[in-house]
Structure 1
Amino acid sequence: MHPKQICADLALLGSSLVLDGDELYIEQPENVYPELEAFVQSYKKRIIKYLQGEYSEHEHNVKQTIDKIINYFMGIDQDINRKIDDWFNHDYDSVMKVMKLLVLFWENGWRELKESVSNFESEETDRLSLEIYDRAMSYFKGKKA
C-alpha cells in the first residue's frame, strides 16, 4: 500500500501521522484500532521516507511489484498471479534473484511472512528489487509487442 494512502486513511479517522525526527507518531491514537496501529508499524520505514519527501512514485512502483511477487509466493490470490507465473516460467534468472531477495529480507529480520517487508529493506534489497522490477517490466512490455 502506498504510504500516501495510509496517511490519508488515518487522517480520515482523525489520527494524522506525524514525523518527529526519525520517529513516527499517530495523533489521537485512541481513534485507531490496535490492528491498524500494527499495520502502520509494519510500513513504518516507507511512511517515514514518504513524510520526509524521499519516496518517489517510481520507488513505490518497484516496492509494490516486490510486494505482489511476495504475495504470489505466499499463495495470496491476486489478479497478477497468472502473469507472474508466466514470467517466472520464462525467466529463471529472475526467479533466482527473487529467491536471493527473500533470503536478504530474512537475514534482515523478516520472520512474519504475512507482514510487509518494508521495515526489513536495505540498500542491498533496494538494489536487487530494482533489478527484479526492471526485468519484470522488460518481460511484460515484450509480451505486449
Structure 2
Amino acid sequence: MHPKQIVSDFQSMGSSLVLDSDDLYIEHPENIYPELEEIAKQYKTRIVAYLKNDYSDQEHNIFQTMDKILNFYVGIEQDMNKKINDWLNHDDTATKLIMKLCVELSNNGWKNPKEPTCNYEDINTFKFSKEIYERAMAYFKKGA
C-alpha cells in the first residue's frame, strides 16, 4: 500500500499522521478504527520516509512488486499469480534472490509471512528487492 494513500485515508477521517523526528503520531486517534492504527504501525517506515519526502515512485514500484511476489508465495490469490509463477519457473536466479531476501527479512525480525515487510527492510533487503524487481521487469518486457 502506498504511504500516500494511507496518509490521505487518515486525513479524510480527521486524523493526520504527524512526523516528529522519526516518530510517527496520529492526531485525534479517536477518529480512526484500531485496524487502521495497526496499518500505520505496519507501514511506519514507509510512511515516515514519505512524510520526509524520501520515498520515490521507483521505490514504491519495487516495494509493491516485492509485496506481490511474497503474496504469491503465501498463497494469496492475485490476478498476476500465473505470470509470477511462469517468470519464476524461468528465472532460477530470481527465485534464489527471493529466498535470500526472505532470510534477510527474517534475520531482521520478520516472522509472519502475511505481515508487511516494511518495518524489517534495510539496505541489504532493498538491494535484493531492486535486483529482483529489475529481473522481473526485464522478463515481462520481453513479452513472456
- Which TM-score band applies after superposition, normalised by the shorter structure? over 0.9
How many aligned residue pairs are there?
144
SS of 1:112's partner is coil
CA distance in structure 1 between the aligned counterparts of 2:117 and 2:84, rounded to whole angstroms: 19
- In 1, the alpha carbon distance for the partners of 2:39 and 2:112 equals 13
What displacement does 1:37 show?
0.4
Aligned to 1:20: 20
Partner of 1:95: 95
Report Cα offsets for 1:52-107 as digits up to 9, x if no partner: 00000000000000000000000000111011001001111100000110111000
Please list every run of 5 or more consecutive structure 1 residues that lacks an aligned counterpart in the other structure: none
Hey, what's the Cα distance between the residues in 1 that align with 2:41 and 2:138? 33
- SS in structure 1 at match of 2:18: strand
| Structure 2 portions without partners, runs of 5+ | none
- 1:1-145 counterparts in 2 under 5 A? 1-143=1-143
Q: Which moved more, 1:108-117 or 1:66-75?
A: 108-117
- Determine helix, strand or coil for the equivalent of 2:25: strand
> How big is the alpha-carbon RMSD for the aligned residues of Structure 1 and Structure 2?
0.7
State the alpha-carbon separation in 2 of the partners of residues 33 and 111 from structure 1.
Answer: 25
Give the drift of 1:113: 1.8
State the identity %. 54
Calculate the TM-score normalised by the size of structure 1: 0.97
- Partner-residue secondary structure (3-state), 2:53: coil
Aligned-partner SS, 1:143: coil
Q: TM-score, normalised by structure 2?
A: 0.98
CA shift at 1:112, angstroms?
2.1
CA distance in 2, matches of 1:34, 1:114: 18
Q: For 1:23 and 1:37, how far apart are their aligned partners in 2?
A: 14
Give 1:114 shift: 1.3
Shift of 1:39: 1.0
